[in-house]
Amino acid sequence: MNKIIDLNNISQNAAFLMSISSMMFYWFNLAFPRLKILLSLAQQTSLLTIFSVTYILGSRWVIYQYFPLSNLYESLLFLSWGLLMVHKVVEYNFKNSIIGSVILPLVMFIIAFTSFSLPTDMQQASPLVPALKSNWLMMHVSVMILSYATLMIGSILSILFLVISKGKEVAIKGSSTGYTPRTPNLSYNLSISSEKANKGSDITSGMKLDQLTLLESIDNLSYRIISLGFPLLTLGIISGAVWANEAWGSYWSWDPKETWALITWLIFATYLHTRITKSWQGKKPATLASIGFLIIWVCYLGVNFIGKGLHNYGWVL
User: 301: Cβ–Cβ under 8 A, 6 or more apart, which residues?
Assistant: 317
User: 61: Cβ–Cβ under 8 A, 6 or more apart, which residues?
Assistant: 67, 68
User: 187: Cβ–Cβ under 8 A, 6 or more apart, which residues?
Assistant: 174, 178
According to the model, what pLDDT value does residue 315 have?
47
Amino acid, single-letter form, for residue 3: K
According to the model, what pLDDT value does residue 21 have?
94
According to the model, what pLDDT value does residue 311 have?
56
What does the angle CA 81 – CA 85 – CA 87 come to, to the nearest 5 degrees? 115
How far is 233 from 217, CA to CA, in rounded Å? 24
Please answer whether residues 171 and 203 qualify as being in contact, where contact means their C-beta atoms are separated by less than 8 angstroms. Answer: no
Q: What is the pTM of this model?
A: 0.82
What does the angle CA 275 – CA 149 – CA 54 come to, to the nearest 5 degrees? 150
How far is 57 from 78, CA to CA, in rounded Å? 8
**Tens of pLDDT along the chain (317 residues)?**
555 556 778 888 899 999 999 999 999 998 888 888 999 999 999 999 999 999 999 988 888 888 888 788 888 999 999 999 999 998 888 777 788 899 999 999 999 998 888 888 777 777 666 666 777 778 888 999 999 999 999 999 999 988 887 766 655 654 444 444 333 333 333 333 333 333 433 333 344 545 667 788 888 889 999 999 999 999 999 988 888 787 677 777 777 888 889 999 999 999 999 888 877 777 888 899 999 999 999 888 876 666 555 555 444 44
Helix boundaries (H) for the chain: 2-31, 36-64, 72-94, 98-112, 120-123, 136, 142-164, 203-206, 209-248, 256-276, 283-297, 303-306
